[in-house]
């Protein structure tokens, strides 16, 4: 998961979505005068009645997703929320991200998200000093570094099924570098879409995506084939980097990748873009989507938490309802939904102390606060219905130290990396997972020298003739989820049937059943209370104990087991 780190038919008409263009269009509203909301229509209510209520409350509809009944709204009415929330045609209201240009008091320094524990997990082990690596000329050159592929027998599965180009896999993430040499052969620009607009600053003036004029394209509207965060490219490569004698191979190296960009450069994922991406996936015949994210600004959404204000409860209830409607829509349209379990090292079936939410300021002065989260609260989309939730394993097959878990929450496990899964509990970056990295980011971050050679231990370069490509090590449930999504794509490729669009399809429930039925059943540790020990490079030793509940066929660490690509395609 980002912080955790999370599509496409030519000129497809989005029949169920009104006013959602191929690329999101930035509004010119003045943030000092206008406030943004997302408004959820009551199920069964006429869309015109809901929009009439919005106008009567002083709102202006920017766009509407009619498949879900969700509208993006701007208003100058300070009492808009109270004026509309009880209307019979309205089911929920939530504040949207800030609209328009930079606040007058905006800060100018760029910075990492302070509350982003998952981001810290994914970037852990990033030290300077290039590492010399050899190439394997008999296979994909960097295949010897892909312990993750061997763990789930994906390399062996390719003898029987590499994936069908008619199978579409949507990457709901920060974008995909469609020009990366180890992604481009399987990337569909015609189907890919960007549903986001870069957000320079939040309402407190803190940097989010940064000034538009400092973007590579000097615009807050990014093309549908770029990734200025790097996360989405890593995810896409894990799923479907081709077998082309360059770099690595993905789990399903023959399928087609569709960029369904729903996340900001900074790693935030807001409600409307994620909903729009999911319904678009259903409309164009996407077969599998990977969702390595949670929907901001709440890590967990509660409807009755006494620590929250009534407006915050309404906002969280709106996120739950709108997201579930979108998940239902995609599922009905044949999309297998795969999501990361989270990097909080938390048991989602137990009470949890959350200090990270709300993690985005949509109004001045807004900041995270502490609240106890009961298991009745949900993190979306990973706890949504029809979603396959994926925990992460390390190279030894133990549950990764950062991976969240819970008996009845985790559906399946998949390799996501664990840099402390070593004999002496010290950090080894090669125990993370290796996937594609945009060259533009490596240059911008100073990670390669003037000759194009890596200067840091987490970036790897590989060349085939005059074509060179870059890869980076990351760990997280964000990395586990796409490997499971790759197995799902192999299943659709192997057992799917024609879908009427010159593509393939397979019922998502069937895909899930095959994934779970062919997974390697993995027992809880013995004893089930497992203590992780990490000796940090700075010296301190950190320990944490996680308790695995359940049985070998189904438990809180591994769900129904670790995915197995070979068994999945050899039923």
Q: For 297-309, what is each residue's pLDDT tens digit?
A: 999 999 999 999 9
Which residue intervals of the chain bear CATH 3.40.50.200?
Answer: 127-199+223-360+375-516
Residue in 447, 563, 448 with CA at minimum distance from that of residue 516: 563
Please state which CATH number belongs to domain 127-199+223-360+375-516.
Answer: 3.40.50.200
Phi-psi region of 406 (alpha: psi -120 to 50; beta: other; left: phi over 0): left
Q: According to CATH, where is 3.30.70.80 located in the chain?
A: 35-95
Selected residue with higher pLDDT from 553 and 212: 553
Q: What CATH number has the domain spanning 35-95? A: 3.30.70.80
**Residue 261: which region, alpha, beta or left (left: phi > 0; alpha: psi -120 to 50)?**
beta
Strands 497-498 and 504-505: antiparallel
The residue-averaged pLDDT of 334-339 equals 98
Mean pLDDT for 6-30 is 33
User: Average pLDDT, whole number, for the chain?
Assistant: 90
Mean pLDDT of 336-363: 96
pLDDT at 432 over 80: yes
Taking alpha carbons only, the member of 276, 56, 57, 249 closest to residue 139 is: 249
Q: Is the pLDDT of residue 98 over 90?
A: no
Q: Are 351 and 373 in contact (CB under 8 A)?
A: yes
pLDDT given at position 258: 98
Q: What pLDDT does 274 receive?
A: 98
* Beta partners for residue 23, in sequence order: 194
H/E element holding 240?
A: helix 231-240
Amino acid 470: pLDDT: 98
pLDDT, one tens digit per residue, over 243-290 is 999 999 999 999 999 999 999 999 999 999 999 999 999 999 999 999
CB under 8 Å, gap of 24 or more: what pairs does 105-113 form?
Answer: 105/205, 106/200, 106/201, 106/205, 106/207, 107/201, 107/205, 107/206, 107/207, 108/207, 109/207, 110/207, 110/210, 111/206, 111/207, 113/3, 113/266, 113/267, 113/359
Helix (H) or strand (E) holding 504: strand 504-505
What per-residue confidence (pLDDT) applies to 30? 43
**Residues 167-178: tens digit of each pLDDT:** 999 999 999 999
CA dist., res. 143 & res. 88, Å (int):
58
Determine the Cα–Cα distance for residues 31 and 420; give it in Å rounded to an integer: 45
Pairing status of strand 371-373 against strand 352-354: antiparallel
Judge whether residue 392 has pLDDT over 80. Answer: yes
pLDDT at 118 > cutoff 70: no
Query: What pLDDT score was predicted for residue 217?
Result: 75
Question: Cis before residue 527, ω within 30 degrees of 0?
Answer: yes
Contact predicate 451/464, CB 8 Å: no
CA distance 338 to 488: 9
């Amino acid at each position: 998961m980002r912080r955790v780190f999370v599509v496409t038919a030519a000129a497809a008409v989005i029949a169920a979505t009104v006013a959602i263009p191929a690329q999101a269009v930035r509004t010119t509203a003045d943030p000092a005068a206008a406030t943004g909301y997302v408004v959820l229509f009551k199920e069964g209510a006429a869309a015109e009645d809901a929009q009439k209520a919005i106008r009567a409350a002083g709102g202006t509809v920017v766009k509407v997703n009619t498949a879900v009944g969700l509208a993006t709204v701007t208003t100058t009415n300070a009492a808009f929320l109270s004026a509309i929330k009880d209307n019979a045609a309205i089911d929920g209201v939530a504040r949207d991200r800030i609209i328009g240009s930079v606040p007058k008091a905006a800060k100018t320094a760029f910075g990492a998200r302070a509350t982003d524990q998952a981001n810290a997990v994914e970037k852990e082990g990033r030290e300077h000093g290039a590492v010399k690596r050899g190439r394997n000329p008999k296979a994909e050159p960097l295949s010897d570094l892909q312990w993750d592929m061997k763990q789930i027998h994906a390399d062996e599965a390719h003898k029987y099924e590499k994936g069908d180009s008619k199978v579409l896999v949507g990457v709901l993430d920060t974008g995909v570098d469609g020009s990366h040499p180890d992604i481009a052969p399987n990337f569909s620009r015609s189907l890919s879409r960007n549903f986001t607009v870069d957000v320079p600053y939040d309402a407190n003036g803190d940097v989010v995506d940064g000034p538009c004029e400092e973007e590579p394209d000097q615009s807050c509207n990014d093309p549908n084939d770029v990734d200025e965060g790097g996360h989405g490219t890593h995810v896409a490569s894990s799923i479907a980097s081709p077998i082309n004698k360059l770099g690595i191979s993905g789990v399903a190296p023959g399928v087609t990748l569709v960029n369904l960009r729903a996340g900001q450069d900074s790693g935030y994922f807001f409600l409307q873009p994620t909903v729009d991406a999911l319904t678009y996936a259903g409309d164009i015949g996407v077969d599998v989507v990977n969702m390595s994210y949670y929907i901001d600004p709440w890590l967990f959404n509660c409807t009755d938490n006494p620590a929250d204000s009534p407006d915050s409860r309404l906002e969280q209830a709106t996120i739950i309802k709108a997201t579930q409607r979108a998940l239902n829509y995609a599922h009905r349209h044949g999309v297998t939904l795969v999501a990361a379990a989270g990097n909080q090292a938390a048991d989602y079936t137990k009470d949890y102390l959350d200090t990270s939410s709300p993690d985005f300021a949509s109004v001045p002065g807004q900041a995270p606060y502490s609240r106890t989260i009961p298991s009745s609260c949900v993190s979306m989309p990973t706890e949504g219905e029809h979603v396959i939730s994926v925990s992460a394993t390390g190279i030894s097959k133990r549950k990764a130290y950062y991976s969240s878990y819970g008996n009845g929450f985790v559906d399946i496990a998949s390799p996501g990396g664990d840099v402390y899964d070593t004999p002496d509990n010290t950090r080894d970056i090669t125990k993370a997972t290796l996937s594609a990295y945009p060259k533009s980011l490596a240059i911008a971050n100073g990670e390669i020298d003037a000759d194009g050679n890596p200067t840091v231990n987490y970036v790897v370069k590989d060349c085939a003739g005059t074509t060179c490509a870059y890869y980076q090590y990351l760990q997280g449930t964000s990395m586990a989820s796409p490997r499971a999504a790759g197995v799902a794509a192999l299943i659709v490729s192997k057992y799917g049937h024609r879908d009427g669009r010159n593509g393939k399809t397979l019922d998502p429930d069937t895909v899930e059943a095959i994934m779970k039925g062919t997974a390697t059943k993995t027992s809880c540790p013995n004893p089930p209370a497992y203590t992780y020990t990490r000796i940090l490079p700075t010296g301190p030793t950190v320990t944490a104990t996680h308790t695995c509940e359940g049985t070998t066929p189904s438990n809180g660490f591994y769900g129904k087991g670790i995915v197995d690509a070979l068994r999945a395609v050899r039923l």
